[in-house]
A and B are shown apart, each in its own frame.
Chain A
Amino acid sequence: MRLGNEEIVSMVREATDSVFGTMLNLAVTPVTPHQEPVHPSTYDGVVALVGVAGYLTGTGRISCSPEFACQMAGALLMSEFNEVDEDVMDAVAEVANMVIGNVKTLLEERGGPLALSIPTVIFGRSYKTRSAGVMEWTVVPFKCGEETLEVRFNVMETPKVVHPMLTLEHLHM
């Protein structure tokens, strides 16, 4: 069964609202989602990526400004952060892990077990990212005050691989 973009948007919204409401006590308001092709623009800020593997293969990522990354870390750890340091990157990684992890749980309910990778966080200026084999991202933005958080997701059905030896055996039969 093909997974529709509306389903992904709905799962991402549910997971993001739950994580921000429960762990950060921050209200996020969903903004109109869109599809974005793979030739990405140049980014500034913080991005956290988490891979998904199983009956689906793909990547989830969250991205935001350095200021919002500090705000998220402050809300999560009940401290104040003025710059993106190890603690802030760790907090953003954990937020990504929880958001994408909760989307993963929702995806498991419709198709079977999935595994998550350990999150990777990137902080910099004028960088591009690329996930091999991905044609299009489903981009689900949220507003939190003046700040924007983007949750992106791409998943595709994992191709069924026929083992070469099995094929040969069948040919000999």
Chain B
Amino acid sequence: MIVDDSAAIRKILQRVLVQAGVALGTVHEASDGNEALAVLKTKKVGLILSDINMPNMDGIELLTKIKEDAENRTVPILMVTTEGNQARVMQALQLGAAGYVRKPFTADQIKEKLTGVI
């Protein structure tokens, strides 16, 4: 699943996942944390790429809620974000994010992170 308030970034990441051979099934999309949690209630998800700065529910709160959810806490979550504040990045990693890629990113950077995550 790709969680980002930008449809442009969701399209780019979807393309990267297909190129990397990761997106073998349906790639679900969500534009904020609330939508992502709604998807998780009905769909089985194997990997989440999530932005941090989003309206309604940001990526840190989403990450916290997923890690509290027994059903989904083991799903790897890679943060893909413009956020460069080290404190926020460290917070995400301490909460259990599997990795972090900063925007702007190249497809290779995403693929490299994914190899370590899945």
Contacts and interface: CB of A to CB of B under 8 A. Distances in A.
Interface of A: 18-19, 22-23, 73, 76-78, 86-87, 90-91, 93-94, 97-98, 101-102, 104-105, 108, 113-114, 116, 118
A37 to B, nearest CB: 30
Contacts of B8: 73, 76-77, 87, 90-91, 93-94
Contacts of A97: 6, 82, 103
Interface residues of B, number: 19
Interface in B3-17: 5-9, 11-12, 15
The 7 closest A-B pairs by CB, nearest first: A105-B84, A101-B82, A22-B104, A23-B104, A94-B6, A91-B8, A94-B8
Contact of A105 (B11, B15, B85, B105): B85
Given A87-B8, A105-B84, A113-B87, A22 B105 contact: yes
B94 interface: no
Contacts of A113: 85, 87
